[in-house]
Amino acid sequence: MIDVKSMKERKKLRLEILEELYNLHFFSPTQNNCLIVKSNELYGERNSEKHLAYHYLVTSGYIQIDISGDSSGVSITAKGIDYVESIYE
């Protein structure tokens, strides 16, 4: 049986990530419109809820992650922007 409460929490986590990236894309105080963090800080432990959320968002085409050394740059894609905006229309 599916744990509906956990499913809703996962969906909420993914939307929070997309909202943060959406805001960075349009309202970033610098010209760097992406989230830049250490890769291990971004995902947490492998197969954690956060790691799985980022994996889902990448494979769905909502975000893009560029890895350079031990840092990752995460940005929202056009598909991700459309998704966030559709939630609030």
- Can you give the pLDDT at residue 44? 76
The CATH class that applies to domain 4-88 reads mainly alpha
Tokens found for residue 15: 């939307």
CA distance 50 to 48: 5
- Can you give the pLDDT at residue 7? 95
Beta-bridged to residue 35, according to DSSP, are 74
**For range 49-75, the mean pLDDT:** 94
Residue 63 has pLDDT above 90, yes or no: yes
**For range 28-49, the mean pLDDT:** 81
CA distance 8 to 16: 12
8-23: per-residue pLDDT in tens? Answer: 999 999 999 999 999 9
Q: Which residue has the higher pLDDT, 33 or 30?
A: 33
